[in-house]
Amino acid sequence: MIIAVDGPAASGKGTIAKALAKHYDLPHLDTGLLYRAVAATVKRLELDPTREADAVAACDFDELTLADPVLRDDEIGKLASIVSAHPLVRAALFQRQKRFANQEGGAVLDGRDIGTVIAPAAEAKLFVRATPTIRARRRHAELQGNGSPVTFDQVLADIRARDQRDSSRTTAPLVPAPDAALLDTSFLSIEASVEKAINLVEARRRKS
């Protein structure tokens, strides 16, 4: 069984994908980390994220980069959304994600284009949402916890800018797959979000 979990920043997709992987005993891939690793490599090598050739060169990142805590930085998230708009960057990361999705026994992947591009035949697709204000509140709390001095207004502005960039790009924009189940976590606790996600996956399994 392949489970595709997509949605915007801080919607809760990562938390939900991890919980689903545990529940169904499936391997999990946070695909955002791949784009974040490209972004961190662009930064480290002082390349230009807006130049496609520079961003493509960074796709050959050192595997150790994936474990670097710097990937969680807001600045890297922003850079990731710039490099991820280049079609050749998406193409460079495509096979790796596709292989993960199609491994024997199944997998859970979360990102922006799992249900639309990476695993269009996934048995269960969730599109996780929450209002921008609530997502900014969650992300702000996380960043504050990490000692970041960033303000709520700055986080909200960044979230809106990232939504805009991710939704408006021509290649693999952030849109729900036509057959995705929508899950709004705005007013749900983590536990309630996970329970609802499991129920939605179960409903899909019964259908297929």
Which residues belong to the annotated binding site for ATP?
Answer: 7-15
CB of 39 to ligand CDP, least distance (A): 8
Provide the 10 A C-beta neighbour count for residue 23. 14
Q: What is the DSSP letter of 169?
A: -
CB of 202 to ligand CDP, least distance (A): 19
The residue (of 26 and 33) whose beta carbon lies closer to ligand CDP is 33
CB of 3 to ligand CDP, least distance (A): 14
CB of 193 to ligand CDP, least distance (A): 4
Q: Which SS3 state, helix, strand or coil, does residue 182 take?
A: strand
The residue (of 77 and 106) whose beta carbon lies closer to ligand CDP is 77
The residue (of 162 and 204) whose beta carbon lies closer to ligand CDP is 162
Measured distance CA(41)–CA(181) in Å, rounded: 35
Provide the 10 A C-beta neighbour count for residue 34. 24
Measured distance CA(124)–CA(147) in Å, rounded: 37
Q: At 41, which amino acid appears?
A: T
Measured distance CA(201)–CA(191) in Å, rounded: 15
The residue (of 21 and 208) whose beta carbon lies closer to ligand CDP is 21
Measured distance CA(39)–CA(55) in Å, rounded: 8
CB of 74 to ligand CDP, least distance (A): 8
Which parts of this chain interact with ligand CDP (CB under 6 A)? 7, 9-15, 31-32, 35-36, 77, 80-81, 84, 111-113, 138, 142, 162, 166, 185, 188-190, 193
Binding-site residue ranges: 7-15
The residue (of 122 and 206) whose beta carbon lies closer to ligand CDP is 122
Indicate the residue whose CB is closest to ligand CDP: 32
Phi, psi for 75 (deg, rounded to 5): -65, -35
Q: At 17, which amino acid appears?
A: A
Burial label for 168, CB within 10 Å (0-12, 13-18, 19+), is: exposed
